[in-house]
């Protein structure tokens, strides 16, 4: 965030015409909702300082340009996908590859080795990974749950005659993906399934809150 503020203040009074040739778009795109709020607050403070230093000249113009730049490059994603086909599988794989801090998975079952490998890769990159899954389904042929747990990924399960039937994931507390899609080969190859991906803050926050509720209620594998 310091680099963003420095870049914007260094270009006070300009249109930031060369921002595409800098790392600024990627830095802005990496910020979550709370970080974006903090950035705007810091820019307001910088705007006050610049207004005093420049006798009020161009401070509002500069601040407007700053906020337009943030709106241009801030992270947004809203998408709906369907199977059979590889669109959902590839999209989930891409999302897991892009994870930078945390990955919370709450799914009925995981038997697709391609997705299991991506989860393991996240853990190897230092991403904080947690899994909630169904106690019965982890005994299915080909289930990857026990292997992921042995690799050091914390797993919690239900103890009920009913199912933990959720199918959603949260990445970096800023994007959620959810739908009917099970993490199985048949879901990609044969089943009629759907997946919704969104970065809407309110929706992501509701899923994150529910994940914490489930994590407290569930039992360690």
Alpha-carbon distance of 55 to 33, in angstroms, equals 33
- Confidence at residue 172, expressed as pLDDT on a 0 to 100 scale: 94
Same domain, 126 and 88: yes
Judge if 51 and 86 occupy the same domain.
Answer: no
Say yes or no: 42 and 100 in one domain. no
Same domain for 149 and 212?
yes
Looking at the fold, whether 102 and 121 belong to one and the same domain comes out as yes
Short-list 210, 180, 207, CA closest to 195: 180
The DSSP annotation for 147-169 comes to HHHHTT--EEE--SSS----EEE
Domain boundaries, position 98: 78-220
One domain for residues 12 and 96: no
- Going by pLDDT thresholds of 50, 70 and 90, the confidence category of residue 16 is confident
Please count the structural domains in the chain. Answer: 2
Q: Do β-strands 175-179 and 219-220 pair in parallel, antiparallel, or remain unpaired?
A: unpaired
Which residue of the set 78, 150, 165, 190 is catalytic? 165
Conformation bin of residue 169: beta by default, left when phi > 0, alpha when psi is -120 to 50: beta
Q: Which of 134, 135, 158, 172 is catalytic?
A: 172
Tokens of 76: 């947004």
Residue 113 and residue 35 in one domain: no
Range 44-53 average pLDDT = 91
Which of 137, 156, 166, 167 does the annotation list as catalytic?
167
The predicted pLDDT at position 191 comes to: 96
Residues 139 and 60 in one domain: no
The residue assigned the tokens 């420049």 is 54
Q: What does the pLDDT average to over 43-57?
A: 88
Q: 60 and 115: one domain? A: no
The predicted structure's pLDDT at residue 30 = 87
- Read off the pLDDT of residues 161-170 as tens digits, 9 standing for 90 and up: 999 999 999 9
Residue 219's alpha-carbon distances to 10, 108, 150, 154, 158, in angstroms, are 53, 15, 16, 11, 6
How far apart are alpha carbons 7 and 22 in whole angstroms?
A: 9
Three-state secondary-structure class, residue 83: strand
CA atoms within 13 A on the CB side of 179: 22
Among 29, 53, 73, the domain boundary falls at: 73
Q: Is the pLDDT of residue 20 over 90?
A: no
Residue of 165, 172, 180 lying closest to 201 (CA atoms): 172
**Catalytic-residue membership of 101:** no
- What CATH number is associated with residue 209? 3.30.870.10
- What distance in Å separates the CA atoms of residue 96 and residue 119, rounded to the nearest whole number? 7
Residue 163 designated active-site = no
Instruction: State whether 115 and 158 are in the same domain.
Output: yes
Boundary of a domain, candidates 28, 52, 73? 73
Range of weakest confidence among 30-34, 77-81, 114-118, 215-219: 30-34
Are 66 and 120 part of one and the same domain? no
**Does residue 6 carry a pLDDT above 90?**
yes
Question: Rounded to an integer, what distance in angstroms lies between the CA atom of residue 180 and that of residue 183?
Answer: 10
The residue from 16, 47, 73 where one domain ends is: 73
Same domain as 84, residue 122? yes
Specify the range with the lowest mean pLDDT, choosing from 132-136, 155-159, 175-179, 199-203: 199-203
């Amino acid at each position: 965030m310091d680099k963003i503020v420095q870049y914007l203040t260094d270009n006070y009074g300009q249109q930031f015409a060369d921002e595409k040739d800098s790392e600024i778009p990627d830095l802005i795109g990496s910020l979550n909702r709370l970080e974006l709020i903090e950035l705007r607050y810091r820019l307001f403070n910088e705007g006050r300082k610049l207004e005093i230093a420049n006798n009020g000249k161009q401070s509002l113009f500069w601040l407007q340009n700053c906020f337009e730049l943030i709106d241009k490059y801030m992270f947004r994603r809203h998408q709906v996908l369907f199977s059979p086909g590889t669109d959902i599988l590839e999209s989930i794989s891409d999302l897991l590859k892009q994870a930078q801090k945390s990955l919370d998975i709450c799914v009925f079952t995981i038997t697709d080795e391609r997705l299991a490998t991506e989860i393991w890769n996240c853990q190897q990159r230092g991403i904080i990974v947690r899994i909630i899954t169904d106690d019965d389904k982890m005994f299915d042929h080909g289930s990857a749950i026990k292997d992921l747990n042995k690799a050091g990924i914390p797993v919690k399960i239900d103890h009920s005659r009913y199912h933990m039937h959720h199918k959603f994931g949260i990445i970096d507390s800023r994007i959620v993906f959810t739908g009917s899609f099970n993490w199985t080969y048949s879901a990609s190859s044969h089943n009629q399934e759907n997946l919704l991906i969104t970065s809407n803050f309110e929706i992501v926050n509701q899923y994150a809150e529910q994940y914490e509720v489930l994590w407290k209620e569930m039992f360690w594998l």
